[in-house]
Amino acid sequence: MSSSDYVDRNRLWSRLRSAVDAHPEPLPTPIAVVDLDAFDANAVDLSRRAGAKTIRVASKSVRVPALIERALAQPGYSGVLAFSLREALLLHESGISDDIVMGYPTLDRGALADLVSSPAAAAAITLMIDDVAHLDVVDAARHSKAVPIRIALDIDAGLRMGGQHLGPKRSPLYDTATVTSLARTVAARDGFRLVGAMTYEGQVAGVPDDVPSQRAKSLVVRRLKHASVSQLAVRRREIADVLYEIADLEFWNGGGSGSVESTVADPVVTEVAAGSGLLAPGLFDHYQSFSPQPAAFFGLRVSRKPNPAMATVHGGGLIASGPVGDDRAPIPWAPPGLHLTGLEGAGEVQTPLTGHPAALLAIGDLVWFRHAKSGELFEHITTAHLVSGASITDSVPTYRGLGYAF
């Protein structure tokens, strides 16, 4: 940790403590806060990186309607990439967006019944598919095909080399022939309209490539990213040449916060998805291409002092999804210098902390953590407190706070 990082994190600790102390009512823990100054700075930087191309907000990485709205109000942002059809319907009904693309196929027949019965919702929401079976599910949910359903194709963007597939295991659509076959099926099928395509290169966008403690691995990751970007550019162009003969596509979505520059450099791509770069979770700390400002934190109070050199906070076990490992645990962030213990880690009911600040912490003091993944923090919390400077300026509901579990 550099001296400037140390100072910044101590200032953050003091600032957030002041904001909480000044709140008119005691706040129960975990206290989730979003630093609006950092959030807005990250939004501006993402837009700078995207250049002339639009950023579609990846709602999975935010999960707070007020923050999705805040991002969409920034220059260069338009539309939402949603992770649940019920969520997409909510965002449309509440007026947050009338341009919502599903990031994943849906099998929710109840939500599909609501979609096909609403011409307004059907005009605003695009379903994502990679198999004809996804079309069958839509048809099973409707009695009439009078309302056309917007469709986009999810095309695998993984790197294939040496007989291996590197990247998220998402779509079976890989080569031009399989994509073309499904595209022609959609175009010819009554009640559907092919309007877009997506190629999410998660092996580029979602993998840190400049980790100080893993220099050799980071070099390999950067080489694999370069190979992936090069291979995908050729394949995107080949597929696009055929797709645009079948349908007049409105958009081609690609990438994520960690791949903005390489994604928008591809002329086929018309927009890039981003969400994690707004809140900057722990897993986004070590990218060569950008350095976002941490914007989301959760605070826990010291509830015990097992010994003079330790401090134990109440709760804390908010573990991120993905491959099990230390990088999925929350990071004790402020005050700086705290560490999880090897035997207990971040626990459901308590989290013991070591490091030199632990001796200075008293029962009742707040310790601030960062979640490893963006958005997942708010699945556990009903309210996000928005902080500007040293003040809580607003307290807004998360999806969970609105009573939804998408």
pLDDT of residue 162: 84
Report mean pLDDT in 10-residue bins for the chain, 406 residues: 87 96 94 98 97 97 98 98 98 98 97 96 98 98 93 95 87 96 97 98 86 86 88 95 96 96 96 97 90 97 98 96 93 97 95 97 98 96 97 97 95
Phi-psi region of 162 (alpha: psi -120 to 50; beta: other; left: phi over 0): left
C-alpha separations of 79 from 49, 98, 124, 127, 253 in Å: 18, 7, 10, 14, 11
314 strand-pairing partners: 350
Give the orientation angle of helix 176-188 with respect to helix 132-140, to 10 degrees.
20
SS3 160: strand
**Strands 271-274 and 54-58, bridge-based pairing:** parallel
- Pair 396, 383: CB distance under 8 Å: yes
Phi-psi region of 63 (alpha: psi -120 to 50; beta: other; left: phi over 0): left
CA–CA gap between residue 194 and residue 232 (Å, rounded):
22
Contacts of the segment 227-232: beta carbons below 8 A, 24+ positions apart: 227/159, 227/161, 228/157, 228/158, 228/159, 228/166, 228/167, 228/201, 228/203, 228/204, 229/201, 229/204, 229/259, 229/262, 231/159, 231/160, 231/161, 232/157, 232/159, 232/199, 232/201, 232/266
pLDDT of residue 256: 94
**Strands 54-58 and 331-334, bridge-based pairing:** unpaired
CA–CA gap between residue 194 and residue 93 (Å, rounded):
23
**Residues contacting residue 325 through CB under 8 Å, at least 6 positions apart:** none
- Residue labelled with tokens 């009695």: 143
E strands present in 240-377: 251-254, 271-274, 296-304, 311-314, 331-334, 339-340, 350-354, 366-370
Cis amide leading into 336 (omega within 30): no
SS3 26: coil
CA–CA gap between residue 247 and residue 160 (Å, rounded):
27
Contacts of the segment 302-310: beta carbons below 8 A, 24+ positions apart: 302/361, 302/362, 302/363, 302/364, 302/365, 302/366, 302/367, 303/350, 303/363, 304/350, 304/363, 305/361, 305/362, 305/363, 306/352, 308/359, 309/354, 309/358, 309/359, 310/352, 310/353, 310/354, 310/358
Burial per residue of 276-310, b for 16 or more beta-carbon CB atoms within 10 angstroms, e otherwise: bbbbbbbbbbbbebbebebbbbbbbbbbeeeeeeb
- Tell me the Cα Rg of the chain: 22
Residue 1: count other Cβ atoms within 10 Å of its Cβ.
9
